[in-house]
Amino acid sequence: MTEDKFLIALKGYVFFLFKNKLSQDAVYHNFNHTLQVVEASQEIAVAEKVSDTDLEILLIAAWFHDTGYVKGYEKHEEESKKIAKEYLAEHGYADDKTLRVLDVIDATVMPQKPKNTLDKIICDADLFHLGMDNYSKKASLIRSEIEQLCGQSFTDIEWMQENNTFLTSHSYFTNYAFEKLNEQKTLNVLKVQRDLKKAVEKKNEQDLKIKTKSEELKLKKNKEERPNRGIETMFRVTLRNHIKLSDIADSKANILLSVSAIMMSIALSTLFPKLEKPGNAYLIYPTLIFILTSVITMVISILSTRPKVTSGVFTKADVVKKKVNLLFFGNFHKMKLDDFESGMDAIMNDRDYLYKSLMKDLYFLGVVLNKKYKLLRVAYTVFMIGIIITVFSFILSFVIMRRG
């Protein structure tokens, strides 16, 4: 059997092996790649002037080096060696040459560590495409194959980073491959780096747009969650009306206090000195009624305007449970500024909490107003009845005094 016939038969065997047993997902490591490695191996070997015997060993190894892919992606070199050993044994190939073929196949294991000339040649032939102008197309096929056969997934940036790392760390071992391929490989490296830079810039730009859009959506959401204008107007008008009513109540109380104080001063300066004379004894009871009316009116008026301040302390748990109304100063006047700011932030970022706080403020303001106006009603009633009784008592005293 001549060398040419043996290699032709081997070519046919590898062709049918890939055709019948190789996965359809192996879009790169298939017969076409193997054929290109064989041709590149022969091209480099001729340039490096290897012997015919070594050339035979090299070409056989090149034909078999990726046949293990028919068994799977992982450790395919070991499967390739098994297939080669079995085939060569069946065809009576010399054992010593078979061992050399297996050693050359071993040289294709990544990362490449060639030990001799044949190892260097097959390593350069296996990665011949790194220095070709169709490198990008080959790289795309490799990516697709890895994703399908290994279940790995790459983003465009991740894949370009992998390519850049691989290309920049790779060097051709033979002089011929270096002289023929290194210039184009350098151009391929520059293209990958340029594309990687553009992809990173584009991603950064997209991330910035996404971040900006996210912030805009957040602002829009916060704006939507804020109380709308109608509700704000309702609370503003209602609270203002209640405050005006409180001012009116305080003004009425001040009027009663002023009038009662004037009455007291008149009684003390005018009536009391006259009571020292025995002839003015009839004025004692009307004067006491007059003074008592003024005192009671003043006390009730003071009670209606007397402020009530709560403890001024709340806990963060009260804020979390929404139990405290921070819109009233009596609930926070003893708190630290940091705690108060934290509580107010919680209110401003929670629409329900804000509404409830305004409701509580409005409700308790109404409760205070109710108490004020009840006391004022009592005060005015006491003042009115007291004045009437005082007047009648003075009249009655004068009448009794005249008859006596």
pLDDT of the residue at 1: 35
pLDDT of the residue at 294: 82
Q: How far, rounded to the nearest angstrom, does the alpha carbon of residue 62 sit from its chain's CA centroid?
A: 53
Whether CATH 1.10.3720.10 fits 3-210: no
Contact 124, 177 (CB under 8 A): yes
pLDDT of the residue at 300: 85
pLDDT of the residue at 225: 54
For 63-73, letters b (16+ CB in 10 Å) and e give: bbbbbbbbbeb
Distance CA 359, CA 229 (A): 16
Please compute, for residue 186, the number of CA atoms within 13 A of its CA located in the half-sphere on the CB side. Answer: 5
- State the 10-residue block means of pLDDT for the chain, 404 residues long: 75 94 91 94 94 94 93 89 94 93 93 92 94 92 89 89 92 94 94 93 88 80 61 76 79 81 75 63 73 84 72 58 60 66 71 73 78 85 86 80 68
Structure tokens, 194:
């340029």
Contacts of 141 (CB under 8 A, 6+ apart): 27, 28
Contact 167, 189 (CB under 8 A): yes
Contact 265, 310 (CB under 8 A): no
pLDDT of the residue at 103: 94
pLDDT of the residue at 2: 39
Structure tokens, 94:
């010399």
The reported pTM is 0.55
Contacts of 194 (CB under 8 A, 6+ apart): none
Percentage helix, strand, coil, to 5, in the chain?
Answer: 80, 0, 20
pLDDT of the residue at 183: 94
Helix (H) or strand (E) holding 209: helix 175-225
Residue whose tokens read 């409005």? 362
